[in-house]
Structure 1
Amino acid sequence: MRGSAESREYEYIKLLSFLITSARGLVDEPQLYGPLRLIDAAARLISLMRSEGMDVSKLERLEKMIEENEDLVMIDKGKFIEFLDELVLELTSIIKEL
């Protein structure tokens, strides 16, 4: 996506649209959908950063963790919450390395 300004703008608007429509949708959705939507947005942001040509190698583990565990919200609430805790710890270790 390192192409035109219009294509970059479109990708940012897609992410913004996801965030705003998620905010509205969450009014009527189950409580755990909020965290699910936020980690989905995090994965989308990592993807957007990659498409901008940024080095996201430090973030790939987060992206993989999200991909492998986001469905837990539908299967096991406790395990989903544990996954969120693990995600926070992983992000903390990444930040410490900066």
Structure 2
Amino acid sequence: SGVNVENAAYPQGWCAEASAIAAMVSSGETEIYELAVMAESDEICTPCGGCRQKIREFASEDLKIFCFGPDGLKATYTLGELLPYSFGPEHLS
């Protein structure tokens, strides 16, 4: 799991997804199987573009991303829907 860390110098903040990925990697894990995004907003909240690419480094385009709000599950997407035509680790070989 991870948390959002806001900073007055916006590029220096950490999204919850990046925090969770860092914790995952430091514990020896190398793959994301499912991902849940929780937000206090009533609007659907999805990972930002930078986090979508970070997630792609550790997951396939079929990864399910569950988006939750205060009242529960609001939407479910695949990573491929949120990041079409992505560039992943398999493109580096």
Which structure carries more helix by proportion? Answer: 1
Larger radius of gyration: 1
Which structure carries more strand by proportion? Answer: 2
